[in-house]
Structure 1
Amino acid sequence: MNVKNEPYKVVLLFNANNIYDRQILKGIGDFLKSHHIHWNIYISETLRYDTTTSFRFDCDGIIANFDDPEIADLLKHVQIPIIGVGSSYHGTSSYPNVPYVAADNFAIIESAFNHLCAKGISQFAFYGLPSNRYCRWAGVREDIFKQILAQKGYEGFIYQGMSTSLDNWQEGLDKLSKWLLSLPINTGIIAVNDARAHHILQACDRAGIKIPEELCLIGIDNEEVINDLSMVSLSTVKQGTEEMGFNAANLLQKRFMKGNVPVSPLLIAPKKVIARRSTDYRSIQDPYVIQAIHYIRDHACKGIKVEQVISQMQISRSNLEIRFKSSLGKTIHAVIHEEKFNQAKYLLLESSLSIQTISQQCGYPSVQYFYFLFKKRYGMTPKDFRRQFTTLKSAPL
């Protein structure tokens, strides 16, 4: 047993400019707090490992993101206790020869696929990344997508696109738009991560493709910054990143105390699918209803009435009402109010806006009227809804 009187010195090597690494770090912190363990921790002030800076291995242990090949190369011959975190791979030979905690890529892609299937989708596509050593995980996810489709008897569409920069950003969007326009209507797209999903939302807006009425989209990571920047809220797979960090810290502490821990990778399944508007798909074939729903989604909170929807479609009210009843079993008026409530619920859960501001943004003439209608529909006030479901959302899974 290895016990020290002073805290163990631990180095964390991560590039925490994304939610994936940040949540792993949070999981490490959760372990230390829950077990009342004190480590003397070093992490770069920028939260990003700088490969141009010389690194002295004056520490007792390291937890590092092995998805970064430069970090993996740096640690290849280091004898200090190391715990790796990163992506899962196809075979054991692809893993580093250290105790390793991995995001279960098969379970991640399967979760996204099953979510689309549950929405009634039967055509699938995958938007990945060009192959390179810095994103081997993307190639693994693409291969798993192919594997799942083969198992289920589906054919799919795959596009890797370009690695984008400020110089080629517009060119990349143009090419992506052409690929999206080539897809059959009602295709469900799995993006390799939320950043690539955001590209699709931009390209669809550019090409006039309606999400989710014509194409459905789900990303991976639950990157809140990406969702905040997107006009259409993005459905996503929330990875078990905090659990990964928790387990990595646990393995390192066991290594300190017992000397050895298993080297075989520990796979961590995703937490859940967070369903938002980008997969709020309804199996509708009527082009007038598709167009009307898209108009309602974009304008319901601006106080539109049924007459404005009719005017936009340029067909008779009775004709469009019949089409809505046939396709949705609902009136146009009901769909408008449903969209306003959906937006209100989204803002109550995903933003810190005041209820009065949410009431105004959703097109209600007064906050009192908003309270009255919301309680009539859901049996609780907007304040109670926010308190109840925000607590459930933040509770450990």
Structure 2
Amino acid sequence: MSVPEVGVLVEPDSSWGRNILRGVASYAEKFGPWNLLIEKYHSSVNWTVPETWCADGIIARISTPLLLNCLQSLKVPIIDVGDLFVGEPGVESVLTDYDAWADLAVEHFQSKGFANFAYYAPPSRDYSNLRGEAFAAAVERLGRRCKQYRPGYRIGREISVGEHRRRVTRWLSQLPQPVAILAADAARGKDLAEVCIQSGLRVPDEVAVLAGDSDDLSCEICRPPLSSIQVASRRIGLEAAALLAEMLGGGKPRTEPVLISPEGVQARQSTDVLAIDDPHVVRALRFMQRNAYRGINVRDVLAEVPVARRQLERQFKNYLGRLPAEELRRLRLERARQLLIDTELSMEEIAEASGYAGSTQLGAAFRNKFGVTPLAFRRRGQQR
């Protein structure tokens, strides 16, 4: 039996792309063997299929109509891990669940007390409108409006760096402050933070910036460091490889794309602010953020903040959309989820570090919130 030749067209110059490649390679190692054909170009704009390839199937981030047409002409199974050409004939898609992605962003901004929201995504072949549409819908479900950057120039039209920054500065000047802005990805988030600082806008006090993916280098070298959504790109690569294997085995095409939920938010300095003008709520939140993992309850918060319980609950509901007890649960579950991703701690250790009485209590709360047990969540992450 011959070893399948699998072509992979995913740029390796970002954490997202490298993790896609790792997911594909992990599947090939565990369930292959496959011979992986890796394109070495770092820009997807001019990609085409190398003449030397005799691929039985291809996993790609399809970025241009030219590449799409080239792949479709090969008459082999194609799995797209991008979001520009979802639903094209002969192409299966595995991509981030943007509804879940948008909900994560809104929840993160809500936890900071923001009431003004915007989305930043200059025209690019790197992403589609699906991201902005999902975020705008999530914001509208709060009864708010989402301002979007609409610069008014076409893809492919070159403008100078100075003109780009003037346009972004003009857009920023029209936004109510403080404002929470979701950028399409880490590159655009870094760009936006730089324009803010050059324009004299304080990040995060006046403009909080959240990057739509987790390119570690871009997020860490940005000043201030960028908060980011942790998209499950390694799992996307793994699921794309599994879907390709299914297609190579004669499986029928799917009618809908495979959607992968993001893992969470990596909070950094660019959103480390509380956009709340009630000193009691701010004091309560700061106390909860420091002590939620010590098993405190609302009575402990009230002992710290000199205000009646009903008043504090009313103000939390007004600013955050949830009660103090719900915010304590959110903080603990986010800590538990991050520890499951980043550490090898036992369930008992994670429960203790997250403020739960034991693994049973943690398991019940985690399953109620995320629909899976902590152990299943960790195993899924290890597969990624």
TM-score of the alignment, normalized to the shorter chain, above 0.5: yes
Counterpart Cα distance in 2 of 1:202 and 1:84: 32
Out of 24, 28, 36, which is 1:41 matched to? 36
Task: Choose 194-203 or 176-185, whichever is displaced more.
Answer: 176-185
Alignment CA distance shift 1:328-1:145 (3 Å): closer
The answer to whether 1:180 aligns with 2:172 is: yes
TM-superposition CA deviations, 1:216-256 (whole Å, max 9, x none): 11111111121233110111111121111101111222333
Out of 117, 122, 125, which is 1:124 matched to? 117
Name the residue aligned to 1:155: 145
Out of 2, 8, 11, which is 2:4 matched to? 8
1:392 shift after superposition: 5.5
1:145 shift after superposition: 2.6
Name the residue aligned to 2:219: 227
Counterpart Cα distance in 1 of 2:34 and 2:160: 44
The answer to whether 1:146 aligns with 2:142 is: no
Counterpart Cα distance in 1 of 2:42 and 2:194: 29
Alignment CA distance shift 1:86-1:52 (3 Å): closer
- What residue identity is the alignment partner of 1:263? R
1:189 shift after superposition: 0.7
1:164 shift after superposition: 10
Tell whether the 8 Å contact from 2:219 to 2:228 is kept in structure 1 after alignment: no
The answer to whether 1:23 aligns with 2:19 is: yes
Tell whether the 8 Å contact from 2:37 to 2:53 is kept in structure 1 after alignment: no
1:175 shift after superposition: 2.3
Out of 92, 95, 99, which is 2:92 matched to? 99
TM-superposition CA deviations, 1:18-67 (whole Å, max 9, x none): 332221111101212333x2211211234556547753552222222234
Alignment CA distance shift 1:48-1:170 (3 Å): closer
1:104 shift after superposition: 1.6
Name the residue aligned to 1:260: 251
Residue identity (%): 26
Tell whether the 8 Å contact from 1:217 to 1:279 is kept in structure 2 after alignment: yes
Tell whether the 8 Å contact from 1:138 to 1:192 is kept in structure 2 after alignment: no
Task: Choose 211-220 or 56-65, whichever is displaced more.
Answer: 56-65
Alignment CA distance shift 1:181-1:244 (3 Å): same
What RMSD in Å do the two structures reach over aligned CA positions?
Answer: 3.3
Task: Choose 111-120 or 170-179, whichever is displaced more.
Answer: 170-179
The answer to whether 1:65 aligns with 2:56 is: no
1:16 shift after superposition: 2.9
Alignment CA distance shift 1:68-1:21 (3 Å): farther
**Structure 2 unaligned spans of 5+:** 291-338, 346-377
TM-superposition CA deviations, 1:343-362 (whole Å, max 9, x none): xxxxxxxxxxxxxxxxxxxx
Alignment CA distance shift 1:8-1:52 (3 Å): closer
Alignment of 1:1-397 (within 5 A): 4=1, 6-35=2-31, 37-46=32-41, 51=47, 55=51, 58-87=54-83, 94-130=87-123, 134-135=125-126, 137-161=127-151, 168-256=160-248, 258-264=249-255, 265-285=257-277, 329=283, 391=343, 396=381
Aligned length: 293
Tell whether the 8 Å contact from 2:247 to 2:253 is kept in structure 1 after alignment: no
**TM-score with structure 1 setting the length:** 0.65
TM-superposition CA deviations, 1:299-327 (whole Å, max 9, x none): xxxxxxxxxxxxxxxxxxxxxxxxxx879
